[in-house]
Structure 1
């Protein structure tokens, strides 16, 4: 799970979270057909609620809909990953400036705490333990969100959340762990944040996010993943 669902949340919100997480973490594979009757049984929710949830996921870019074919999980492709990566770079590089400028001691503590969890998980993965990919990506997400959390724009943070989750899906499906290099980049981003060096952080983010594209191509990961488009 990316985040815990608040107690007492409406059924539509709960179903949206569950379906979204199942897509992000590959339980519903790219290109897979989504049958309303099967989903109704699997998620124990009405067809009316399902239609509303699926429409939201279409808007978020995680599901496709065609009149004659119905709903299906969005496929993955190198082109789509590149577009998502470029948008993520744009959003994060814009947000670090105001976030670093406005961040207070509580913000620093949140950034340091998020990095600590991520660093511990990366150390486990470097030691060969790849058993908890979901937790690794949750901590990665928390760290990057913490960096820009003081930017002062709710709209920017919401747009970043949507783009980051689509990027995260690729990282999970393709197991895009770049090892020591990625961990060192996160260390450098932490240092830049604490130094309030937004220019250095922007340069690091461009390299850090862009390198994921090169990594997938060089290692032929799209050819190993079901549901990948040409």
Structure 2
């Protein structure tokens, strides 16, 4: 998932990898933009050789395209990819919900309560028009969804969901607007259903939540 700062144990390369990844997901590096190595070297304070390695790593996540001798570019955004990511996220997240709700314990409930508390506070600010809290909302949104499925006991599933979630998030950042009360209501309902262990109810909310997210992005007119 998108991280705001590097961990203490990370190398310079790891930190730059996370920064470029964050810049792509946030839209600071626009879809289809050519990544000029000399400019990027200065921007991220890293050697060209290390930069090439980082960009090659990002191609494995489909966030960057390698153009052979022509270098690299940010992966373009398209309606087709958005819909594919939505389908994949739905499959992964609904499956993870089933596993997590079946295995969740008191500690799991505590993680959900704490995550929703932070998310609700950020959403209240956004509803009031304070867009400076958008980066907080991005972080807390993932932390809440992660908490919901955190008892699934599958590191592989969590890693796959995290990657797809970030790529899906990139489209929401391109839309440049908060979905408003509807998304707040979805999160509150999902929170309540999780504590009730209502698997089918939560899966239905997630499906609707993702579908409405796709509709919101398409309505923005910012992708083809």
Alignment TM-score, normalising by the size of structure 2: 0.94
1:138 aligns with 2:135: no
In 2, Cα distance between equivalents of 1:140 and 1:41: 32
Residue in 1 that maps onto 2:21: 20
Residue in 2 that maps onto 1:67: 68
For residue 68 of structure 1, report the CA deviation from its aligned partner: 4.4
Residue in 1 that maps onto 2:167: 166
For residue 101 of structure 1, report the CA deviation from its aligned partner: 1.4
For residue 3 of structure 1, report the CA deviation from its aligned partner: 4.2
Which stretches of structure 1, 4 residues or longer, exceed 3 Å deviation after superposition? none
* Higher RCO, Cα 8 Å, sep 6+: 1
Q: Residues 171 and 217 of structure 2 are in contact (CA less than 8 Å); yes or no, is this contact kept in structure 1?
A: no
For residue 2 of structure 1, report the CA deviation from its aligned partner: 2.4
For residue 83 of structure 1, report the CA deviation from its aligned partner: 0.7
Residue in 2 that maps onto 1:182: 183
Q: How many residues align?
A: 223
For residue 119 of structure 1, report the CA deviation from its aligned partner: 0.8
**Structure 1 gaps, min length 5:** none
C-alpha RMSD of matched pairs (Å)? 1.4
Alignment TM-score, normalising by the size of structure 1: 0.92
1:193 aligns with 2:198: no
In 2, Cα distance between equivalents of 1:40 and 1:177: 33
Q: Residues 22 and 28 of structure 1 are in contact (CA less than 8 Å); yes or no, is this contact kept in structure 2?
A: yes
In 2, Cα distance between equivalents of 1:158 and 1:89: 15
Q: Residues 125 and 133 of structure 2 are in contact (CA less than 8 Å); yes or no, is this contact kept in structure 1?
A: no
In 1, Cα distance between equivalents of 2:146 and 2:165: 9
| SS of corresponding position for 1:132 | helix
**Structure 2 gaps, min length 5:** none
In 2, Cα distance between equivalents of 1:116 and 1:141: 13
| SS of corresponding position for 2:131 | coil
